[in-house]
Amino acid sequence: MEINVELFKKSSDPGDCLLKDTAACAAMNNPGCPACELGKAGAETQKNALEDFELLKTLLPEEGIKPLMQSETCLFCKSEKSNPREYYAITDFAHREPQRTKTSVIGIKIKANVGSLIPVQIACCKKCRRNFLMRDYLPWIITAAITIALIAVLSIVPLRESLVAVNELLPLALFAGVFVVGYFAGQLARNVFVKAKKSQTLFEVAELPTIKRMLEKGWFSLFGEKKGIRLIFSKKRLERGWFSGDSVEA
Ligand SMILES: [Zn+2]
């Protein structure tokens, strides 16, 4: 089948996109008109994006969030000389503004808790990334290891049979018990690990000055506060999203 090039050009014609050549478009790190959905999304959506941009500028700290990703050195390193940036630690922050309504499951319009959502990318080194990942996964590694060890033990038939002989549910109860013990052992190991590594890595993302100012301005993390903000790590920056690229002055 032959593709109608002319038709394609017309359908993605950005000519009347309200965002064309605006700071808002650059701030969203849009992929260029031919690949951008917003060009085809209609004037209403484009107008909303322009309004969101004006609001976001007032909601974010003066320095913006770009310095967090543009730093050549890790922002989590606590040593005097920070390691070079090798990864981006990425997480989403949300804000209640602008007030939006959403339709609840029973069809009533209610205020949405999240009006804005932006990705934050923070320069991170190899060592700090490893420390964060260990903090997050150590409890599960330990729980899984203990549970697997129990499964191995219970697979010994004579042992399992003698347990069942006492009570049918005994292997299951043992399994549940060991899982709970494993979970608490994992939490303990996590705390010990964080204590041991806290001289290397700033685990409290909220203590980074820019993040602190964001929290003061009403931003909040969608991915855990109590046990530390959950981060994902990437060698590359995000290809899209508010303030995720360099080409922005705002
Ligand atoms: Zn580091």
- Structural domain boundaries, residue 7: 1-59
Of the residues 197, 218, 236, the one at which a domain ends: 197
* Spatial separation of the C-alpha atoms in residues 250 and 64, rounded to whole Å: 8
**Listed residue (93, 85, 190) closest to 129, CA to CA:** 85
Last residue of a domain, one of 41, 59, 77: 59
Looking at the domain assignment, is residue 123 inside a domain?
A: no
Domain end: 43, 59, 75, which one? 59
Asked if residue 53 belongs to a domain, the reply is yes
CA of 200 to the centre of ligand 1 (A): 7
- Gap from CA of 68 to ligand 1 centroid (Å): 13
Percentage, residues of the chain above pLDDT 70: 91
Residue 151 in any domain: the answer is: yes
CA 30 to centroid of ligand 1, rounded, Å: 30
Separation of 73 CA from ligand 1 center, angstroms? Answer: 8
Contact 188, 196 (CB under 8 A): no
Quote the ligand 1 centre to 158 CA distance (angstroms).
51
Give pLDDT, residue 6: 47
CB 245 within 8 A of CB 31: no
Q: For residue 70, how far is its CA from the centre of ligand 1 (angstroms)?
A: 14
Buried (b) or exposed (e) across 6-28, using 16+ Cβ within 10 A? eeeeeeeebeebbbeebebbbbb
Question: Is residue 211 included in any domain, yes or no?
Answer: no
The answer to whether position 217 is within a domain reads no
Position 30 in a domain: yes
Residue 74 Cα to ligand 1 middle (Å): 5
Model-level pTM greater than 0.85? Answer: no
Residues with CB under 5 A from ligand 1 (ion): 74, 76-77, 83, 125, 128
Number of structural domains found in the chain: 2
Tell me whether residue 173 is in a domain: yes
Structure confidence by residue, pLDDT tens digits, 41-82:
888 888 988 998 999 989 999 888 999 999 999 999 998 899
- Cα-to-centroid distance, 210 and ligand 1 (Å): 17
Q: Please report whether residue 65 resides in a domain.
A: no
